[in-house]
Every structure is written in C-alpha cells, then in structure tokens.
Amino acid sequence: MQSANICVVGVGYVGLIQAVGLASFGLKVTCVDLDARKIAMLEKGIPPIFEEGLEEALREVIARGRVTFTTEIAAAGDCDLFFVAVGTPTSERTGNARLDYLDAAVSGIAAIARPEAVIAVKSTVPIGTCARLQARLDRDFAGKHLEIVSNPEFLREGTALNDFFNPERIVIGGNSEAARDKVRQSYAAFEDRGVPMIVSDTSTSETIKYAANAFLATKVTFINEISDLVETVGGDIDQVARGIGLDSRIGPQFLKAGPGYGGSCFPKDTLALATIGRRHGVQQQIVETVIRINDSRRFHILKRIESAMGDKLAGKRVAVLGLAFKANTDDVRDSPAVDIVHALLEEGAEVRSFDPVAKLSVDHRCYRQCESIAAACEGASAVLVATEWGEFRSFDFASVEPLVERRYIFDMRRVVDITAAWVPRWDIERIGSPLMRATGEAS
C-alpha cells in the first residue's frame, strides 16, 4: 500500500467511518472538525456515535498512530487527498440541501492545501455541486490546480463499519484522470478484491447517490402500499415480500413493511432529488409521490391506533417500545417512533417509552422515558412496537399482563412473535395484518 497523506474534514458519522476505515488499511489520516468537544472525545478513543465495532477499531488505529484529530485545518497542510464529509441538511425554506458547511470546508482546505491536492466530496450534494466547486477553485486558487472529485458513501447506520469494509461498489466522479486515480488508489485494497469501481464524471457520480437512495425509498414505500392492500384483502405480507424478492430482478432487500422510511438520509435525499428535478424542469413524479405517501403513513398509523382505542387517546397511557428510526442505532432523526410519540402527546395521551439505546429530549409533563419494557408498559392501554430491536422480538408479554390496563399491541414492525403462548390473550394489530382479537384461549 502506498503511503498517501489523507485528511478527513468533518468527523460526523460518515467522516469518522471513512477515517477509521482508511487508517485500518495502513494509511495515515488527519481528522479535522470544528467541534472541539468532539475532537477531544475522539482523541481519547471515544466515538461520539453508537456504531457496532467502531470504538475498538478507533482505539486500534489511535494506538498504531495512524490517525490524529485536530480542530485546525492548517495541521493538514502536508496532505494531498482530502475527503469532505460535512453535513448537508435540508433547508426548511427551500427544500434544497444546504451547502454552507461544504463551501466553508472546501475554502478552508483550498487555502492551506499544496498544489495538485485533490478534494473528494463524500457529503451528499445536489447534482452540479462539484462542477460549481471546481469552477470556484479554478477562479480563486488558479495557481494551485486543485481538483474536486465526487465520491459518495453508501453506509447504513448500525452496519456502517462492515459496509465500509465490504462495499458493493466504489463510485468516483471527476473531470481529471489524475485526480480520479488519486482517490482510486486510496481504495486499492478493495480494487484488489475485485470490488467494482464506477469511474465517471462528477455529475454522474452525484446522481448515482440520489438515485440509489430514492430507489430504495421507493422500494420500501411500494411494499408498504402492498401491505395496506394485504391488510384489507387478506394474506401474509412477509410471504408476499419473500415471493417477489426471490425474483433476482427484484431482490429480497428493502421489502420489509413498516411505519415508513426515516433516518438522516432517505427523507433528506428524496426531498433534495425532487427539488433538483423541479429546478431543472424535470419533475421526479415517482419520488414526489413516494415522499407524499411516506409522510402521510405515520398519520394513518395513528388513526388506526386511535380507532382501536375507541377514538379517544386523551388521558390514556400508551407504551412506545423503540425510539430509534431503526434497530441497532441510537439515531432518532426523522424517526417514525418519535413522530408517533409527539402525535400521541398532542392528542392528550400519556406516553412512556423504552429504547435500549436511543434517548429523546422531549420536555412534556405527560412523557417519561423508562429503563425497561415492563416500566414502560405499566398502566398502558396500548403497547406500540415502533423499532425492530431484537429484544422486542423475544419479549414475553405474559410478564407484563398484570401491569397493563388493556392487553393491546400495535406492532409497527411485525417483530412480535405471534406464535407465543401469551398471544391469544391479547388484541394484536400489525402493519400488514388485520386486528387479531384475543380469544382468551392459551395456544
């Protein structure tokens, strides 16, 4: 492995995985972030996010002296390859991705970088952003010949480190061959293993990222609509998903019916793609429809819970199991569970939640976070399973029967074991299935 000097700017979720991953390959990585608190934590080997295996991997590369952390971009003056992974949040006003952090980061790099350095953009950015940044560098730093390359990430929260080490493809977009090659070399370990490299121009690369996330969001939304149909006409949505997923043209992944997609990427990226389409006069009608259906899904779920509770939520206590937007992460950004908590509180319900990892900052006299499933279920007229954590799958709800006000479960994730002995004593509603009324008989 050649020894490139690499800098990662923005050590949030994506940047930190990138830095630790490349350092594990033996490359020397300088990490820069404006957040001094975060840098101080990282220096001690403490990752600011919860991610399987990350802490061990971080400590290992620190111990080997392969990674350093700083708030000063000037410390990266000897680097020849910069990965930028700063946030591009959605602007509430326009729906566009906000690029001020990215612009500031690229300017900061350009000011200290040595000539011919390459700046690879890992942040998800509107199509055309890299071309715009390149034009700016050519104008403001003409003598330096700095090159912008687009290099999107495809990491899933919860499995990000594993995804980094086992990519299905690497996407590199740039307008100069030398710049693309420099980025490509940092992934030499993958290329040696036969991982496909999609090498193109910046616009193609930027589009791949949005199209991939929009397609997956569409797949989730599609199975959710079919699940609504199955709920009414009868059938088993999991078997339907399996039946179509075994067709290799469709594939089995992202066909799990649930409360709709959430998290820090799908909602933001689908909205950005729709906005880009409109701006260019090429409306992305499928994506726009997907966004609309996904947004209304949480509201429909609430209506279903409400009707099962006699149309009155006010004064009733509801247990919400799970807050994270999906299992194995502490991320609550755009989480369906969190939206449901807020909606329940607005309807006057009293909410008690439990999540094994995620925490929520809601200051409301009718809201309490509990330390166990049992504590959350105390006095509950409804138990909602909102995140697919493993411990909800195997939980013996017989143990909370003496605690609940009513034996009613709404399973938004279809994880509760409906073959368990306690099931006949409960009213159970699941996404994709009609209400199963308690028969009272033990199975």
Binding residues for ligand UDX, rule: CB under 6 A, are: 153-157, 213, 216, 220, 254-256, 258, 261-263, 265-266, 325-326
Q: What is d(CA 281, CA 263) in angstroms, rounded to the nearest whole number?
A: 28
DSSP code per residue over 317-330: EEEEE--SSSTT--
The one-character DSSP state at 173 is E
Considering the complex, state which of residue 184 and residue 326 has its C-beta at the smaller distance from ligand UDX. Answer: 326
Tokens 């071309």 belong to residue: 131
The least CB distance from residue 220 to ligand UDX, in Å, is 4
CB of 414 vs ligand UDX, minimal distance in Å: 10
**Parallel/antiparallel/unpaired status of strands 433-436 and 427-430:** antiparallel
Shorter beta-carbon distance to ligand UDX: residue 28 or 326: 326
Active site (annotated) includes residue 370: no
In the complex with ligand UDX, the residue whose CB is nearer, 24 or 294, is 294
**8 Å CB contact between 147 and 119:** yes
Q: Which is nearer to ligand UDX, 159 or 175 (CB)?
A: 159
Residue 305 to residue 310: CA distance in whole angstroms = 9
Between 99 and 265, name the residue whose CB sits nearer to ligand UDX. 265
Tell me the residue length of the chain. 443
Both tokens assigned to 260: 């709709």
Tokens of 217: 């969001």
CB of 366 to ligand UDX, least distance (A): 26
Q: Locate 353 and state its tokens.
A: 């939640």
Q: How far apart are the first and last CA of the chain?
A: 61
- State the DSSP string of 400-434: GTTT-SS-EEEESSS-S-TTSTTGGGSEEEETTEE
User: Least separation, in Å, of the C-beta of 218 and ligand UDX?
Assistant: 11
What token pair was written down for 315? 């004064």
Are the C-beta atoms of 150 and 130 separated by less than 8 Å?
yes
Minimal CB distance to ligand UDX: which residue?
265
> Which is it for the CA torsion 33, 171, 24, 5, positive or negative?
negative
Closest CB to ligand UDX among residues 241, 376: 241
Residue tagged active-site, from 7, 79, 130, 265: 265
Rounded to a whole number of angstroms, the minimum distance from the CB of residue 213 to ligand UDX is: 6
Instruction: Report the nearest approach of ligand UDX to the CB of residue 407 (Å).
Output: 27
CA contacts within 13 A on the Cβ side of 308: 26
The residues assigned a catalytic role are 265
